[in-house]
Amino acid sequence: MTAPLDILFLITARGGSKGLPGKNLKTVKGLSLLGYKARAAQRCASCSRLILSTDSNDIAEEGKRLGVEVPFTRPSDLASDVATSDSVVAHAMDWIEENEKRTYSAVMLLEPSSPFATAAHLDQAIALYNQHNAGLIVGLRQLDTYAALTGDLTADGSIAPIVKSMHDANGLRRQDLKAQVTMNGAFYLMNWATFRKTGKIYGDPNECYGLVMDRWHSLEIETQEDLDLAEYIAIKGLIDFTPWQDLGIVE
């Protein structure tokens, strides 16, 4: 019988955000974006430990209010616009290895800007991780436009590259085209040892797999318009909010 994974759940939430100032503490139905990720992690059976990496006192206090451990303050140089997710994950690993003299089997990286991943999604990701003995599992969403119908616009406004791409599709009808997917930022479940070897979330391409999520659960919030759309999703009931409501947090 395979031993259960020892997974560190890591929420990353810096204080600065140019597109939507104070983004990580913005609320939808009374719960902060940080709170959505915290509650999903807390409901996930495989969450061995949940910590928050932030440079912000306000975000740290919100994390503590939600029951999230805040064992360190993220350095300012890792909270800038140019800091990478790779470096932030590495910092958290460094801190744990140096201060606690331990490691975990895997890390579940959670970013509040993609708030609507549920505990069920995280459970599915972990099952997929075990199934493939993966190095990485990420959340995915289907693109609205097929690759065969896209291309570059030339400097003089010509769409020749797009038309050539359409010709290459051999006259297939739109409904016959293969769906394309991309990462949705909902979660990144990575093998601890593999990340340590490569220093990258996206390591060996052959060890990377994805879980496709629906359009609304895949929402990424970077602007006020995105936040407004999240509120619209809530008002119209386009997703089920009971995974958060039954914890007495969401209205």
22 and 130 co-located in one domain: yes
Q: What is the pLDDT of residue 178?
A: 75
Residue at a domain's end among 178, 201, 234 = 178
60 and 134 co-located in one domain: yes
Q: Does the residue 1 lie in any domain?
A: no
Residue at a domain's end among 127, 158, 178 = 178
132 and 153 co-located in one domain: no
Q: What is the pLDDT of residue 172?
A: 61
Residue at a domain's end among 155, 178, 201 = 178
153 and 234 co-located in one domain: no
126 and 31 co-located in one domain: yes
Phi first, then psi, for residue 12 (nearest 5°) are: -115, 125
Q: Does the residue 89 lie in any domain?
A: yes
Q: What is the DSSP string of 190-238?
A: EEHHHHHHHSSSS--GGGEEEEEE-TTTT----SHHHHHHHHHHHHHT-
Confirm if 226 and 220 have CB atoms less than 8 A apart: yes
39 and 84 co-located in one domain: yes
Q: What is the pLDDT of residue 162?
A: 81
Q: What is the pLDDT of residue 173?
A: 63
Q: Does the residue 251 lie in any domain?
A: no
113 and 230 co-located in one domain: yes
Q: What is the pLDDT of residues 180-200, one digit of tens each?
A: 899 999 999 999 999 999 999
Q: Which residues of the chain have pLDDT under 70?
A: 1-4, 169-177, 246-251
Q: What is the pLDDT of residue 1?
A: 40
Q: Does the residue 97 lie in any domain?
A: yes
Task: Tell me the CATH number at 113.
Answer: 3.90.550.10
Q: Which domain holds residue 152?
A: 144-178
Q: Does the residue 250 lie in any domain?
A: no
93 and 25 co-located in one domain: yes
Number of domains observed in the structure of the chain: 2
218 and 238 co-located in one domain: yes
Q: Does the residue 169 lie in any domain?
A: yes
Q: Does the residue 152 lie in any domain?
A: yes
Q: What is the pLDDT of residue 150?
A: 79
Show contacts of 196-204: CB within 8 Å, 24+ apart: 196/93, 199/86, 199/90, 200/86, 201/85, 201/86, 201/89, 201/109, 201/136, 202/136, 203/135, 203/136, 204/135
Q: Does the residue 204 lie in any domain?
A: yes
- C-alpha–C-alpha distance, residues 11 and 73, integer Å: 13
72 and 164 co-located in one domain: no
195 and 166 co-located in one domain: no
164 and 206 co-located in one domain: no
Q: What is the pLDDT of residue 241?
A: 94
